[in-house]
Amino acid sequence: MGRRASLTRGAHPLIPIPHLSRSRSRLRHQTPQQLRPTSPPPPLHPAAAASLHKRFVDAVAHLGIKNAVPKTIMQLMSVDGLTRENVASHLQKYRLYLKRMQGLSSGGGGGSDPATDRLFASSPVPAHFLHPNRVPSSDHFMPSFVPIATLQQQQQMAAVAAAAAAANAHLQPPQFHHRQISAAHYVSPTANGQFGSPPANGKFDQSFLARQTQQQTLQRMSTPSLHSPVGNYVEDLESANANGGRTVLTLFPTRDD
DNA sequence: GGGAGAATAT
DNA sequence: CATATTCTCC
């Protein structure tokens, strides 16, 4: 895992540093701030990042791996500044993780790699994501997704429809990693960084949030004594925020919290 | 120096 | 759209 928050490192550049030394041929990793001095450099809130990754997971889960295409996901997320490229990249990683997970699961044995586990285990993963063919009878997870009539955008509607159609195909993804540039892209400059109450997709959020809440509740109830790293969005948010106002967003505890 | 993730290129 | 490659980050 590489770059991300420097919680462990402690000393980290709060502001994006121009890596001109390296980028002589390509200039792709330039920070938006440098490129667009005119635009206000809004520090991405940790909450935003966490919500983003969560949002991504939700979108994919609701859409189903079948319909989980970068374009659809991006539209569903409705995150200003988010591009298809970003989603695609994350999606790739997401798939990789799933594949890895399957191999471990199938291979038998514990299948609990400390590295991989802590890497992706942060996100709520419904059971059947790893085994689409084998759907357990005790499927506690069904998208009771109730679309509200307050749809403002067709995107959401389409997403819901797709989700319903692909209800049988579920997959839970890893987390979204936000780097300085990514974070900036993900969050809108003008936006307050609050995904919880945007008028644009209030309905959408509600559905997702509702589902997430249920998951967390279930997990807590199931393992009250054992504190599972999964489903602790609030903690992530707080931790990230408490880590000293890290400009970069740390979605998941890559290095342990 | 290595590992991991993200962005870019194909 | 998916995959492969590249680069940056810690």
CATH code of A63's domain: 1.10.10.60
Residue A77 is assigned to a structural domain of this protein: yes
Residue A83 is assigned to a structural domain of this protein: yes
Mutual orientation of helices A154-165 and A70-77 as an angle, nearest 10°? 130
Query: Angle A120-A250-A244 (CA atoms, 0-180°, nearest 5)?
Result: 145
- pTM for this entry: 0.51
CA of A116 to C1' of B3 (A): 12
pLDDT under 70 in chain A at which residues?
1-51, 65, 102-257
Residue A92 is assigned to a structural domain of this protein: yes
pLDDT confidence of residue A50: 56
pLDDT confidence of residue A118: 42
CA of A226 to C1' of C4 (A): 41
For nucleotide C4, give the residue with the nearest CA to its C1': A92
Domain of A60 in residue numbering reads as: 51-104
Residue A84 is assigned to a structural domain of this protein: yes
Residue A137 is assigned to a structural domain of this protein: no
Query: Angle A241-A247-A248 (CA atoms, 0-180°, nearest 5)?
Result: 95
Closest listed residue to residue A161, CA positions, set A72, A42, A37, A53: A72
pLDDT confidence of residue A104: 60
pLDDT confidence of residue A49: 55
Residue A76 is assigned to a structural domain of this protein: yes
* Residue burial A33-71, b: 16+ Cβ < 10 Å; e: rest: beeeeeeebbbbbbbbbbbbbbbbbbbbbbbbbebbbbe
pLDDT confidence of residue A54: 76
CA of A13 to C1' of C6 (A): 23
Instruction: Provide the number of structural domains found in chain A.
Output: 1
CA within 13 Å, CB half, A64: 19
pLDDT confidence of residue A139: 43
Residues lining strand B at under 7 Å (Cβ) are A 1-4, 26, 28-29, 85-86, 88-90, 92-93, 115, 119, 176-179, 181-182, 185, 251, 254
pLDDT confidence of residue A97: 81
Residue A231 is assigned to a structural domain of this protein: no
Tokens of A114: 């400390």
Residue A70 is assigned to a structural domain of this protein: yes
pLDDT confidence of residue A122: 54
Q: Which nucleotide is nearest to A177 (CA to C1')?
A: B5
User: How far, in Å, are A99, A115, A118, A132, A189 from residue A112 at the CA level?
Assistant: 14, 9, 9, 20, 40
pLDDT confidence of residue A105: 60
pLDDT confidence of residue A64: 75
Q: Which nucleotide is nearest to A91 (CA to C1')?
A: C2
For nucleotide B8, give the residue with the nearest CA to its C1': A28
Chain C bases under 7 Å from protein CB? 1-4, 6-10
pLDDT confidence of residue A80: 80
